[in-house]
Amino acid sequence: MRVRVETGGRVHIGFQNLSLAHERLYGGVGLAIDEPRAVVEAEPASTVECDDAVVATYAERACSELGVNGARVEVCERLPRHVGLGSGTQLALATLTAVARAHDVALTVRKRAPALGRGGRSGVGVATFEAGGFVVDAGHPTERFTTDPPAAGSWTVPEVVARRRVPDDWRLLLVLPDAAPGRSGDDEDESIRAVVEDADPGVADELAGVLVRRLLPAVAEGRLDAFGDAVGAFGRLNGAWYADQQGGVYRPPAGRIIDRLSDCPAVRGLGQSSWGPAVYGVTDASMAADATADARAALSELGVDARVQVVEPRNEGARVETL
């Protein structure tokens, strides 16, 4: 049978801790968005057949992990790669799920994700694929950290310690600058290693206060302005850890865009998702048009080419359909 899997991207607001002085390392915080999306279709085959080299690799790993011969895999929609929206994890897990369902193999995505190289630091992408929402994960025991990246599949995906439904009328402003892609692979590993080895533990203490006393209560109570202000604070504190690696609290040109939009009343909680260059902001359905206009005006003034869209939060996991 042919199976279709559709999933949205995610905004990664930041980590709770990057210091080796604390017991838990990483601990991702983020939320699912309904667009852009990754859509994959698969059906059984004797070998792996796929025109997309990246997805072909995911399909080969999936077939090996599931113990099946192969699959014919087609990418119908893809998230933009390496811009900070979690494209790798969503595409890998969509491929895994499509191949498993096509072969009628029972699957727990969380358990299989490490075999595809997913969940080694943040568990947000796996958690949003599973059930959407605003997510906080538990991180990893700090004693497992080494200067070399762990062997593929030698970790478990961090457990979800908090998940909240994002109010349906909230929206996320996304600005995707035409800039160099964010860090990934070995380059990302080296940068994270350098950050962790030199991270100020005091920043993690401040982040804990923002998360527990501001972020979680605001999303639970549906207070948009308070949530946006807390998101912005959380992102800025994270950026202090990365400043030496990316040339500032935000990488160029994200910092200029955030500075320019910070006085716009239609947008709160501006930040950079992961390594960028994606910039996000929090707004709602009634202010979506104003937020879009403000972003386009800012980009024109700054001379930055970028894609602008306002997207809905996603409060469900990947959709799986038998065709």
DSSP labels, 177-195: ESSPPPP-HHHHHHHHHHH
As a residue count, the chain comes to 323
Q: Say yes or no to pLDDT of 51 above 80.
A: yes
Q: Say yes or no to pLDDT of 147 above 90.
A: no
Query: What does the pLDDT look like over 225-237, one tens digit per residue?
Result: 999 999 999 999 9
Distance, in Å, from the CA atom of 133 to the CA atom of 137, rounded to the nearest integer, reads: 12
Q: In terms of Cα–Cα distance, which of 254, 217, 223 is closest to 238? A: 254
Distances (CA, A) of 314 to 108, 272, 285, 308, 318: 21, 19, 14, 18, 10
Return the pLDDT at 153: 67
Give the pLDDT band (50/70/90) at residue 183.
low
Give the mean pLDDT of 172-194: 81
Q: Say yes or no to pLDDT of 186 above 70.
A: no
pTM for the model stands at 0.95
* Tokens read off for 97: 């799920």
Return the pLDDT at 192: 83
Distances (CA, A) of 288 to 68, 132, 188, 265: 46, 21, 33, 11
Give the mean pLDDT of 125-147: 93
Give the pLDDT band (50/70/90) at residue 148.
confident
Return the pLDDT at 191: 77
What is the number of alpha carbons within 13 Å of residue 245 lying toward its C-beta? 23
Tally of domains in the chain: 1
Distance, in Å, from the CA atom of 69 to the CA atom of 86, rounded to the nearest integer, reads: 28
- The range of the structural domain enclosing residue 13 comes to 3-322
Return the pLDDT at 154: 75
Cβ atoms 319, 93 nearer than 8 A: no
Q: Is 14 left (phi over 0), alpha (psi -120 to 50) or beta?
A: left
Burial annotation 84-96 (CB, 10 A radius, 16+ → b, else e): bbbbbbbbbbbbb
Return the pLDDT at 7: 98
Q: Which residue has the higher pLDDT, 82 or 270?
A: 270
* CATH number reported for the structural domain that contains residue 153 in this entry: 3.30.230.10
Return the pLDDT at 74: 98
Q: Say yes or no to pLDDT of 185 above 90.
A: no
